[in-house]
Amino acid sequence: MIDTDVRLTRLDSMFADLARKVRPQDVFVFFIAGHGKTVDGRYYFIPQDFRYDGEHSIVERGISQEKLQAWFATIKAKKSVLMFDTCESGSLTNEQVATRGLERVASLERLTRAMGRTVLSASSDDNPALEGYRGHGVFAYALLDALERGDANGNGFVEVTELAGFIDAEVPEISFKAFNFRQVPQMKIIGSNFPLAKPTAVLATTTDDRLPISRKPTHVVIVPASVRENSGGTGAVTEQLTPGAQVVVMEGADGWVLIARDGRKLGYVEEKTLARLQ
């Protein structure tokens, strides 16, 4: 459901339909993106037809965590993951509340306990969930990337714990490199681990990444190495590599090489910090 469909009446109808269709043996995945707000420790989602006329309007016309809980209670699936790509939306009122981040953590904790389901959230503080990264929010981009690269144990499935671990690692790094701000996701895993999907490429490649990058390492780091944005030792240091780390060398010139790892470009390091794998 997108845009004008995201209204209370339409959501009521959609969940009623899901309640009839979803079976206990199914896996239920819920993803929501938009504006969220915490008022007195309670989480509210702001629907598309919301109109702000004071702080009271959030409580009166927002979709409360109690409403969300009631909807989720109708879903019979024993295995569920709920994902919230929302922030507290200070842009609605242009107000800053010092304790808002703490309130949001507390409200999400209560939401998780009440629903008894795994919850992944885009951010844990009073800053917005960042948007505008390669056509997605940072959290959404990391989530979609995890569906391709998140199978850490190599068993052919992306599992709940692998998805959470991938998002936990990638969101702070992506946000810092792209926006110079470290967005920290929050997560609470309830119940046993289970597979969500087979690894599937869903992100469109950019013009800079038209060709696939090999995942088979070609070199090993032999001394501490600083990864830089640009060749020749210029640009910011984006990562520090320790001896023993294995990478793929893509190209090189003048003593510097472009390296990648896990199918993703990292940046440039001095060639003398690497040794070719036999």
Residue 46 pairs with which residues in a beta bridge? 35
Structural domain harbouring 105: 3-12+23-197
* Same domain for 193 and 115: yes
34 vs 15: CA distance, rounded Å = 19
Asked if residue 162 lies in contact with residue 194, where contact means CB atoms within 8 angstroms, the answer is no
- Residues of the chain above pLDDT 70, percent: 83
The answer on 162 and 37 residing in a single domain is yes
Does one domain contain both 99 and 229?
no
| Domain count within the chain | 2
In this structure, which amino acid lies at residue 44?
Answer: Y
Residue 241 domain-assigned (yes or no): yes
pLDDT band for position 221 (cuts 50, 70, 90) = very high
Same domain as 145, residue 178: yes
Query: pTM for the full model?
Result: 0.65
Residue 253 Cα distances to 12, 54, 71, 219, 232, angstroms: 60, 60, 58, 16, 9
Residue 56 and residue 147 in one domain: yes
Strand spans (E) along 5-136: 27-39, 42-46, 63-64, 79-87, 118-121
Q: 176 and 231 share a domain?
A: no
252: domain CATH number is 2.30.30.40
Whether 74 is covered by a domain: the verdict is yes
Q: Which helix (H) or strand (E) holds 178?
A: helix 160-179
Chain segment 37-85, per-residue pLDDT in tens: 878 777 788 898 888 888 789 899 999 888 988 999 999 999 999 888 8
CA distance 193 to 265: 30
